[in-house]
Amino acid sequence: MSRKETVLLVSRAFALLLITWALVDVTYLPEHLFALSHRMSLRSVLATHDYWTSYYLIITVSHLVRLLALSLAAALFWRSGPQAEALFSPQQNNQEPSE
C-alpha cells in the first residue's frame, strides 16, 4: 500500500469517527432544545435577566457550534487533500514530495 493510499485510509477512518461523534451529538439536540423552550416559556415579562434561560441558550448554541465544527472537520478529512497528507504523514528530509 502506498503512502498516499495509507493517508487516504487513515483520513477517511478519522472522518468516519468525526461523523459518528456528530451523529451522537445530534441525539442530544432535542433535549437541549426542549429545555431551552421550557425555560423560555417560564420567563417572567418583568425579569430583565433570567439565569437559567441564558444558561440553556448558551448550552444549545455551543452544542450547535460543536455539531457544525465536527461536520466541517469530517468533510475536510473525507476529501483528504495535501493538508491531511501532511498532517498524518509528515515529510522527512530525505523524501521527495508526493505528486
Cα(30)–Cα(25) distance, integer angstroms: 10
Could you tell me the residue ranges of all domains in the chain?
Answer: 3-88
pLDDT, position 99: 53
Per-residue pLDDT of the chain (99 residues; tens, 9 = 90+): 777 788 888 889 999 999 999 999 999 999 999 999 999 888 877 777 889 889 999 999 999 999 999 999 999 988 877 777 777 667 666 555 555
The model's pTM is 0.76
Judge contact between 60 and 38, C-beta under 8 A.
no
